[in-house]
Structure 1
Amino acid sequence: MINRRSFLKAGSALAAFPFALGGFSGTSLAQDGAITDQDRILGDPEAPITIIEYASLTCPHCANFHATAYKDLKKNWIDTGKVRFVYRHMPLDQLATVGSVAAESLDDDNRFFGLITYLFQTQDTWARSQNPLEEMKKIALLAGVSNEQFDAALKDRELIDRVINQAREGAAAFNVNSTPSFVINGKLYNNMSYEDFNEVLEDLS
């Protein structure tokens, strides 16, 4: 669980961040949830099965998914070309939104997924720190996001809108209301184990 005192300190440091959790503006993704060129995709883009993950970087259940089921899912289904995996942002708070926006500043999908994965792996460390924003910046730097790029991303309305829109449209298109949520070939599932994934994917194969 995220330390409340640390989170409140982060909120104070982020007071100038131009984002409201209820906001929604700018260029939209497909309203029906269809894959677009704004999506971050891992695996074969022509794979017959599509998994869309909606996640928040401060969600402990999301971190647990990436530490457990995701590894076998990637090895057995994504890396083998059977599944196209799409990551979409569903930030639960301002700090998660900042991390999402920083990740979106990366042009390369592999580096994007590398940063997202590492943020989940180290969630307990940066989320519980006395200054989670600075710890997040250090991790982003390892993924190739310079401090200047990080700060610029938090002022980039297009990147911010992309994150906001993904969350709002996940709710509108698929009724996503918790994290992690997964849309597999158009059907919504919540917080699945690898065994759950394997059963569904085998049925679709």
Structure 2
Amino acid sequence: MEPTRRSYLAALSGAVALGSTAGCLGGSGGNSALPDGCDVGTLDSVSSLPRPALGPSDASVTVDVFEDFTCPHCQTFTQSVYPKIKSNYVDPGEIRYRFFDFPIPVSDWSWFAASAARAVQDRSDAETFFAFAKGVYENQDRLADEGYQVVHDLADDLGVDGCAVAGAANQEPYRPVVESDRELGRERGVPGTPAVYVDGELLDTYGWDGIQSAIDSRLDG
């Protein structure tokens, strides 16, 4: 059965307060040790970056998704729904797909992973950013205890300086970028993560069937 807004506002492990926390309760936690050999010094703060996006900029339909890297509902979306959106609409050039950070936060790694991902984007391109994001979700359960090593290794595997990315997770030089996205999400009424907008309209589902229907209705309109 397709997940609905009601289902993903369910608690991470029980009841949850609706509103800004949505499907994932706030929390804390994280590790402090960078991988061996990583001495990046003090990183400069970055206040702006291009929007991570795939698909033609002049596409007739735009899909915006607000995510928290430590939210299990976002993990489900990225692993089960996003690949279908990409293969059916992004790859054929029918839509523009845009990523927005919205750390709830579930844990400290909601922020740390977001900064690491923006470090990857800053040093590569949107395709690499999305590949890195996929890897973070695949390793979501390791972030609390091994987060710096996880982002280091994922970046290295993608040809990006792993120490720089781990350092970005640690120092959060991209926090202004992430905070800007979060504020934009608040202005747009994001109730929780993942929040999916099709041509500016917030859907009441993050399931494939609902998203497919919303996209098709606009492509056919």
Q: What's the CA shift string for 1:13-50, capped at 9, x where partnerless?
A: 28xxxxxxxxxxx857xxxxxxxx62111111111111
Whether the 8 Å CA contact 1:180–1:190 is kept in 2: the answer is no
Aligned positions of 1:98-137 closer than 5 A: 98-106=112-120, 107=122, 108-124=125-141, 126-127=142-143, 130-137=145-152
Deviation >4 Å, runs of 4+: none
Q: Does 1:96 align with 2:110?
A: yes
Q: 1:192 is matched with which residue?
A: 206
Q: Does 1:160 align with 2:175?
A: yes
- The CA distance in 1 between the partners of 2:87 and 2:147, in whole Å, is 31
Q: 2:3 is matched with which residue?
A: none
Unpaired runs of 5+ residues, structure 2, are 1-11, 14-26, 34-45
1:151 Cα shift? Answer: 4.4
The root-mean-square deviation of aligned C-alpha atoms, in Å, is 2.6
Whether the 8 Å CA contact 2:71–2:193 is kept in 1: the answer is yes
Local SS of the residue matching 2:145: coil
- The CA distance in 2 between the partners of 1:59 and 1:112, in whole Å, is 18
Whether the 8 Å CA contact 1:182–1:189 is kept in 2: the answer is yes
- The CA distance in 2 between the partners of 1:94 and 1:156, in whole Å, is 11
1:110 is matched by which residue type in structure 2? Answer: E
1:198 Cα shift? Answer: 1.1
TM, length-normalised to structure 1: 0.76
2:65 pairs with one of 28, 34, 53: 53
1:170 Cα shift? Answer: 0.9
Q: 2:218 is matched with which residue?
A: 204
Whether the 8 Å CA contact 1:104–1:112 is kept in 2: the answer is yes
1:13 pairs with one of 29, 32, 54: 32
1:94 Cα shift? Answer: 1.8
* Number of residues of Structure 1 aligned to a counterpart in Structure 2: 178
- The CA distance in 2 between the partners of 1:151 and 1:115, in whole Å, is 13
- The CA distance in 2 between the partners of 1:143 and 1:198, in whole Å, is 30
- The CA distance in 2 between the partners of 1:120 and 1:168, in whole Å, is 23
TM, length-normalised to structure 2: 0.71
Local SS of the residue matching 2:100: strand
CA gap of 1:139–1:27, structure 2 versus 1, over 3 A, is closer
Local SS of the residue matching 2:92: coil
Whether the 8 Å CA contact 2:67–2:193 is kept in 1: the answer is yes
Unpaired runs of 5+ residues, structure 1, are 15-25, 29-36
Higher mean C-alpha displacement, 98-107 vs 136-145: 136-145
1:169 is matched by which residue type in structure 2? Answer: L
